[in-house]
Chains A and B, each alone.
Chain A
Amino acid sequence: MSTAPAIPVRRIPALSGKRPPVSVILTTIILGTALAWSLAPDLFSSYSGTVGLPGNQLKSPSALHWLGTDELGRDLLARIIHGARYSLSGAFVAVAVGLIAGSAIGLVAGAAGGRTDTWLMRLVDVLLSVPTLLLSLAIIMILGFGHVQAALAVGVTAIASFARLMRSEVLTLWRTDYVEAAFGSGATFLKVLVRHVLPNALTSVLALAALQFGAAILQISTLGFLGYGAPPPTPEWGLLIAEGRNYMMIAWWLTLFPGLAVILVVMAANHLGHTLERRKA
């Protein structure tokens, strides 16, 4: 604490075995619920996500329909529950695309260095230079509208950040004393990569994956809202808001609740990402 060489050892309250903080519990509950909804929506709602009940059109929230019903008499809660799988699976695909392609690019660029690095990073610069939404719009234009297409389009936009992160992690780790010590004790390039670089880069990459997961949910809902994602009557959350918009003067619940669902899941994913980030520090 007082002499120059002393280096503080940081402890992470969330991980030191004590009772986890409220925010961690909330995050787990929200992400767990969303996951459960997307895996088995019928367990959580007895109403259909796509077929309406006649005579129940545009009912405001009540004991029978907790979040109200839409213009076709469909239960909004049921639609949100059934829609979870579109947000989650889409975000999952998007993050997978970005993570796999991006990390591979970053790893090769960082580890190989030299000309390979220069060219790969210029490629990443090209991806970065086009604003995210425009890039995904351009990809959707050739792939066509649809749920998977939207997810892929969002995934491509995530490649650049994973590539940059992975590269900087590799470069940072490459300069550490323990990597040099490993080379100095006869380790080969591959052994150093597998033993030291990848495990130590993992936490940062997972943190980014969680943050990108949240961002992907937002972007997919945006594409859904614009009508480029899954077609009606799919209860995708962005599309729910777009459809509710037509009734915004008389049925506020149709836009409010799907939006809240998006916000909660995105916040939870971001919080997970930040927690992982802090854990690394």
Chain B
Amino acid sequence: MHAQLVSRIGQSILVLWAAFTLSFVLLQALPGDAVLIRFLGGDLGLSPEQIAELRVLYGADAPIWEQYIVSLSGFLTGNFGYSVISGTPVATEILTNLPPTLWLAGLSLAAAALLAITIALTANLTGFAPLKAALENLPSLMISVPVFWLGIVMIQMFSFQLGWVSVINPGPWEQLALPVIAIAVPIAAPLAQILLRNIEAVSRQPFVQVARAKGAAPAHVLVRHILGNALLPSLTIAGLLFGELIAGAVITETVFGLNGIGRLAERSVRFQDTAVLQAIVVISAFAFLLINLAVDLLYPLVDPRLRRDDVKGATA
């Protein structure tokens, strides 16, 4: 068990290092000289001497392997370089932008989970066939909706038409309501689909028939026997959901004009601020690997089959 854990962590570190290298190659090595791209753009009117000075300042004059070592050791110590747009350290930028994004993502995930479970349970408990059919097909609609479009349509409806959500100076919760819904809808969709599929598959298991044969009501069987088994596999898509949350944050923060990591990422692409994007990419990869590691470690806690106890006296 311990050896497995160590090797699992080792693999994660290896993948993280590879992700860093990939992002370095993509964002620093290949584009050539980010500083040149930025400052030769012309709009700043800098002299060649000033540019050379800046290049030294940003470390862009060093050979590529040296830049790699500097960059890697910087990442290991939490120094992600400087934003070429604002001139502030990337670490500072990320730290100031992280809390609002964490709030947004956390609330969205909770809303999505709630929505998905509601859909799955209602579909399985209702005796009304048309409602069941509608709920079963709802996720395929939800998964097809572009987040940015949903955000805009909701602003049109709830802010302009109905006036429920103020556009100018909204309160902190009011401000988050629409973005959370916009992110939650497409994230709830795959969750609901997985739940519906698993509930259906688990319902066909003989132990469900056995539970019914004990005299249990369908709702009791659904909640006490089926749901637990059906929820387990949805943990496996935790990593996928994380990716969706990040994408959702980029889009909604842009659409709703919120500050956060997403908007930072969007801005960095628009203005070729490679250091910022690279930091966001590597930190996301780190978070992703951490989540998957947590899921792997969590699984045995929720699924007794994965607990590696010795089988005691298993004879008939």
**Chain-B contact segment, one of A10-18, A137-145, A183-191:** A137-145
**Chain-B contact segment, one of A90-98, A127-135, A169-177, A199-207:** A127-135
Q: Mark A250-273, 1 if CB is under 8 A from B, else 0.
A: 001001101100110011001100
A259 to B152, CA, bound (A): 10
Q: Are B269 and A130 in contact (CB under 8 A)?
A: no
Task: Name the A residues within 8 Å of B152 (CB-CB).
Answer: 241, 244-245, 248, 255, 259
Q: Mark B138-150, 1 if CB is under 8 A from A, else 0.
A: 0011011111111
Q: Is A274 an interface residue (CB 8 A)?
A: yes
Q: Is B234 an interface residue (CB 8 A)?
A: no
Q: Are A125 and B254 in contact (CB under 8 A)?
A: no
Q: Is A249 an interface residue (CB 8 A)?
A: yes
A219 to B245, CA, bound (A): 14
Determine which of B23, B27, B149, B289 lies in contact with A262 in the assembled complex, contact meaning CB atoms within 8 Å.
Answer: B149
Q: Are B156 and A255 in contact (CB under 8 A)?
A: yes
Q: Are B270 and A263 in contact (CB under 8 A)?
A: no
How many positions in chain A have a CB within 8 Å of any CB in the partner chain? 45
Minimal beta-carbon separation of B207 from chain A (angstroms): 16
Minimal beta-carbon separation of B40 from chain A (angstroms): 15
Q: Are A270 and B144 in contact (CB under 8 A)?
A: yes
Q: Are A130 and B31 in contact (CB under 8 A)?
A: no
Q: Are B26 and A122 in contact (CB under 8 A)?
A: no
**Chain-B contact segment, one of A67-75, A108-116, A224-232:** A224-232
Q: Is B153 an interface residue (CB 8 A)?
A: yes
Which B1-57 residues sit within 8 Å CB-CB of chain A?
11, 14-16, 18-19, 22-23, 26-27, 30-31
A225 to B274, CA, bound (A): 21
**Chain-A contact segment, one of B68-76, B122-130, B277-285:** B277-285
Q: Are B284 and A259 in contact (CB under 8 A)?
A: no
A63 to B113, CA, bound (A): 44
Question: How many B residues touch the partner, as a band?
Answer: 35 or more
Task: Name the B residues within 8 Å of A132 (CB-CB).
Answer: 243, 247
Task: Name the A residues within 8 Å of B11 (CB-CB).
Answer: 122, 125
Task: Name the B residues within 8 Å of A263 (CB-CB).
Answer: 141, 144-146
Task: Name the A residues within 8 Å of B150 (CB-CB).
Answer: 259
Determine which of A126, A128, A218, A255 lies in contact with B144 in the assembled complex, contact meaning CB atoms within 8 Å.
Answer: A218
Q: Is B59 an interface residue (CB 8 A)?
A: no
Task: Name the A residues within 8 Å of B148 (CB-CB).
Answer: 222, 225, 238, 241-242
For B247, the closest partner residue in chain A by CB is: A133
For A225, the closest partner residue in chain B by CB is: B148
Task: Name the B residues within 8 Å of A125 (CB-CB).
Answer: 11, 15
With A129-B288, A129-B289, A133-B243 in contact, is A141–B272 under 8 Å at CB?
yes
Task: Name the A residues within 8 Å of B141 (CB-CB).
Answer: 263, 267
Minimal beta-carbon separation of A159 from chain B (angstroms): 13
For B242, the closest partner residue in chain A by CB is: A131
A248 to B287, CA, bound (A): 36
Task: Name the B residues within 8 Å of A241 (CB-CB).
Answer: 146, 148-149, 152
A103 to B258, CA, bound (A): 39
A137 to B272, CA, bound (A): 11
Q: Is B188 an interface residue (CB 8 A)?
A: no
Minimal beta-carbon separation of A135 from chain B (angstroms): 8
A138 to B229, CA, bound (A): 39
B-side residues, CB < 8 A to A, are 11, 14-16, 18-19, 22-23, 26-27, 30-31, 140-141, 143-150, 152-153, 155-156, 160, 239, 242-244, 246-247, 250-251, 254-255, 265-266, 269-270, 272, 274, 277-278, 280-281, 284-285, 288-289
21 A-B residue pairs with Cβ-Cβ distance under 8 Å, sorted by A, are A122-B18, A126-B22, A126-B285, A130-B285, A131-B284, A133-B246, A134-B281, A138-B27, A138-B277, A141-B31, A141-B274, A141-B277, A218-B146, A222-B148, A242-B148, A245-B152, A252-B156, A258-B149, A259-B145, A262-B149, A271-B140
| Nearest 10 pairs of A and B residues by beta carbon | A259-B149, A133-B247, A131-B243, A266-B144, A131-B246, A129-B285, A267-B144, A126-B18, A125-B15, A263-B144
